[in-house]
Structure 1
């Protein structure tokens, strides 16, 4: 952390966070929620005035699986529709560059440029707590080049992970800021000079540690009145740490006798391993679901729902996992998540808590259960957010990006949700 933090850096701001999926929106917003700021995550079109009044409002644009043109158009539509007055903007991108971050950022900057002479972007995708760092403008995962990882092989958009090239694909001018420059003591002046040099400039910042991100966040807040922050939850936490603690009221709910529903829809190996570990503990009844069972077979879906409901109603926990092979068709993810949500709708009255891995899975499941937002309360571990569902169902909920966590993540999530739902307290 920087030794000297000015009053301007300490000032509590109202934030609008735009993300391409639900788990990303949540893991950025919880950075502020965990320090006492009121933080709400929404998705779809049904945002309510009460959601928009939150100090920190994160919105899932649901563009992860779209083409670059469609993702840009959706971001532009959301930016046009959502009120941004007096809110600082954080454009959340995936720390491993999945989806269409360049096209989305180009649309965001173009929209902002229509109302300002200059726009300065501070890009820092590093999330050190989950092993994501940036060196020489390139993304690394646990020290390995992103292009060498399973994450890149399974899902990538760009030829390489050099951030200058990634931004250039959408016509954005970016300039690298090396680790030496980040740590050199004059980062604020460097940012200010970059902001003055071009009407639209993005500083591509290296970062290996949380302290690097703290330096970037503070300098970025002073670089330009039109600074836009672009990154993952690592940068969100750095910005939140520069603000004083908030005083939002602690969340409380009635204690529940019903069990926890855990749904694993992510294709990431980390989530599959964690699901196997939770299954091995014997604390959650296991319900594997074949894709063909969700494709229209009403008998199979009814049998799944009946089994899950019986388990939850008896106070036991249920683990539902979509079974996929080692080389899944990425395009089938959204319809599978939607069909699973439809099958589990009838279980809503006996759900005591929910855990979901994968942004599409979480959004589809929660929407199907009548949930339209999440009020965030705490962070169980890096990238794993705990909150309360808002809408026709009010229960504790945990969302986790598929690739985050270790083999025991779902075990820890299950234990925390058991404590919350049985005590009626998020503390």
Structure 2
């Protein structure tokens, strides 16, 4: 293994794996920290954790455990991947995990770059934009678990970290890799171990990638990986073999637990042509909606690739959280979808598309997936996946804001046929 990656959720892990596989690295995604060794053919290993919204100390512990395993597999560079909308609270978990990894690896400085231009995420003067709108005006300010109310990534990180946070501005990034490398060196010399680096296009990310060749730690969204495979290729370390993916054959279903604006638009478009079952948080909490009911609904309509969704308006979700408690609602919804996914897979569902990072994590964990082979890209940041484990199902895991309006139909086609 050459590059070891730690992702704080499952959709982010597949997003990153997709970027690395497209860049020519033989990539595998692992679910949690594996017990055994990675295949010898694995050049980039992505360990998918579900650590984005868990307590800070536990997120740090899990991330360090993943780091140790990746280092034991031979990784010479570690990449900590988080969402391109920097999903976190003022307490963490991005800053504390990054600082713990810096200490473990003895890194002088680590890039902070939550940028993914293909999905509209750009960074200018340390401020994060989504499709040209400041992060805190993009809808992310209404996220039920990690509301992002400040677009200044340095300022947000400063709440989470012990040290000062630096900046490599866009004017420097545009000068190329050598200028970026020099600026990062200056940040390190000034004692700033984390440095936010501006980027607005793929060419900026490629330049940043060249500048951090050999860096012990890199942090960012999946876009930061665009320039990394070339570093290993220049040294003649890549085999060119890629990864193995075969399509699935059999019935399909869709699960969506994301409340983002894009997810709700996608759900509306999909349920205009396919059967849909809305699952409301209050109904799950009260027992008015059960997994048995949802399972029966899907199986009675299985020839039409039905959808089960809890993509309610953020105001409705917030009201339910106030009545029952945020953590209790999240746990109930995730448990509902995880149990439903297992029931569906055991009943013969061969293709399953899941929307929402937390929902995807719950589903993959419940299905006891061990690792994924990376397939073709469906939409930017979302590949088709072939699962290894007790249920060899084909999956697509979509972050809430990712994908075109017709994403779910395209995803089912990419995973295989009926």
The question of a shared fold, defined as TM-score above 0.5 by the shorter chain, is answered with yes
Deviations 1:23-42 (A, max 9, x none): 01110111112344332222
Cα deviation digits, residues 348-382 of structure 1 (max 9, x gap): 13112111111221121233233232221222111
**Structure 2 vs 1, CA of residues 357 and 137 (structure 1 numbering), >3 Å: closer, same or farther?**
same
Equivalent residue runs for 1:42-57 within 5 Å: 42-44=30-32, 47-50=35-38, 54-57=42-45
2:171 equivalent to 1:183: no
Q: 1:28–1:237: 8 Å Cα contact kept in structure 2?
A: no
Greater CA drift, 118-127 or 206-215 = 118-127
Q: Secondary structure at the match of 1:306?
A: helix
Q: CA deviation at 1:232?
A: 0.5
Aligned to 2:200: 208
**Contact kept? 1:33, 1:378, Cα under 8 Å:** no
Tell me which moved more, 25-34 or 293-302: 293-302
Contact residue 8 and residue 51 of structure 2 kept, 8 A: yes
Tell me if structure 2 keeps the 8 A contact 1:17–1:29. Answer: no
Give the aligned CA root-mean-square deviation in angstroms: 2.8
SS for the counterpart of 2:13 is helix
* Distance in 1 between residues matched to 2:119 and 2:414, nearest whole Å: 20
1-side partners of 2:39 and 2:92: how far apart?
A: 28
1:149 corresponding residue in structure 2: 138
Q: Which position in structure 2 is the counterpart of 1:247?
A: 241
- State the match for 2:342 in structure 1: 345
- My pick for the range that moved more, 268-277 or 107-116, is 107-116
- Which of 248, 260, 267 matches 2:252? 260
The 1-side partners of 2:232 and 2:186 are apart by 25
- Residue 269 of structure 1 aligns with which residue? 261
Q: What TM-score do the two structures reach when normalised by structure 1?
A: 0.83
SS at 1:307 equivalent: helix
Q: Which residue number corresponds to residue 287 of structure 1?
A: 277
Deviations 1:202-229 (A, max 9, x none): 33211111111111111111xxx44421
CA distance in 2, matches of 1:340, 1:158: 25
- Is residue 406 from structure 1 mapped to residue 404 from structure 2 by the alignment? yes
Deviations 1:129-174 (A, max 9, x none): 1111001111111222212221123354676232222332212332
Moved more, 195-204 or 133-142: 195-204
Counterpart for residue 223 of structure 2: 234
Q: Are the aligned partners of 2:168 and 2:197 in contact in 1 as well (CA < 8 Å)? A: yes
1:129 — aligned with what? 118
Match of 2:49 in 1: 61
- 1:110 is displaced (CA, Å) by 3.4
Contact between 1:17 and 1:58, CA under 8 Å: does it hold in 2?
yes
Q: Distance in 1 between matches of 2:252 and 2:40?
A: 29
